[in-house]
Amino acid sequence: MLLIDRLSCQSKLRYINASVKLMYAVLTLALCVLSRSAAVAALVFAVNGILTAGKGGIPLSLYIKLLTVPLAFLIAGTAAVTINISGEPLDAFAVPVGEWYITGSSAGICQAFRLCATALGAVTCLYFLSLNTVMTDILAACRKLHMPPLLLELTLLIYRFIFVLLKTGTAIMTSQQSRLGNRDFRTRVRSFGLMGSSLFILAVKRSNALYDAMEARCYDGSLKVLSREYPARRRQFAFVILFELFLGGVWFWCG
């Protein structure tokens, strides 16, 4: 079982109506991205952290560890906005390298900070949804929104095969390590290529076997998955609406 999937099953917010959590995550994500405001992003980051780690019961250290993964990509991506190679130094910093300067401007640093804050706030919205809601509940909420059934079925099948491929890939890597398949760089590259080709073949075989099993169980073009319904409360909808209005007010005030 994936770590995020295991945490979603253990979350204290799991039994809150999935439609409420989906509405909150989508609306908050949209306001965070559209506003491009550091104040809105900071507020979203703080509230999602309180809900996920405080109310949901997810360990804070583990939550921070999960955030370091997108943060590393964000820092690498925003470095391109901040750092420039120019023949003339800019106002923020300048490191001479021969006739050129590795330099940056104050405006570029501010833009990179807003971009990084906005992206990190948006990531916390997705983490809130994925760490507190199991996949079947998310798909059930999407089905209520009349999303294309084909898209939902593909999502469910892809999600299922993630676990299958991870388990198979782990078994292959363990087998390779027990046969000294990683003793040097050349051997590791060769072992990785063999693992990739084996995974592709096994994925095709297991997908065919899965389709045969579905046909044997009277598959009619749609997957029926049992999902438990949790009633939505008015105060939960009220919290979402009030919070989104508050975010809109902060966006208007800081904009």
Residue 104 · residue 93 · CB < 8 Å: yes
For the stretch 80-89, contacts whose Cβ atoms lie closer than 8 Å and that sit 24 or more positions apart, written own/partner, are 81/108, 81/111, 81/112, 81/115, 82/108, 82/109, 82/112, 84/108
> Is the pLDDT at 135 greater than 80, yes or no?
yes
Concatenated DSSP letters of 219-232: --SS--------PP
The Cα-based distances of 43 to 46, 47, 64, 164 in angstroms read 5, 6, 17, 38
Q: How far apart are CA 76 and CA 181, in angstroms?
A: 32
Residue 4 · residue 10 · CB < 8 Å: no
Q: What is the pTM of this model?
A: 0.78
DSSP-assigned beta bridge partners for residue 103 = 84, 94
> Is the pLDDT at 1 greater than 70, yes or no?
no
Mapped onto helix, strand or coil, the DSSP state of residue 11 is: coil
| pLDDT computed for residue 214 by the predictor | 78
Look up residue 53 and give its amino acid. A
> Is the pLDDT at 10 greater than 60, yes or no?
yes
Nearest to 109 by CA among 97, 124, 134, 91: 91
What rounded mean pLDDT belongs to the chain? Answer: 83
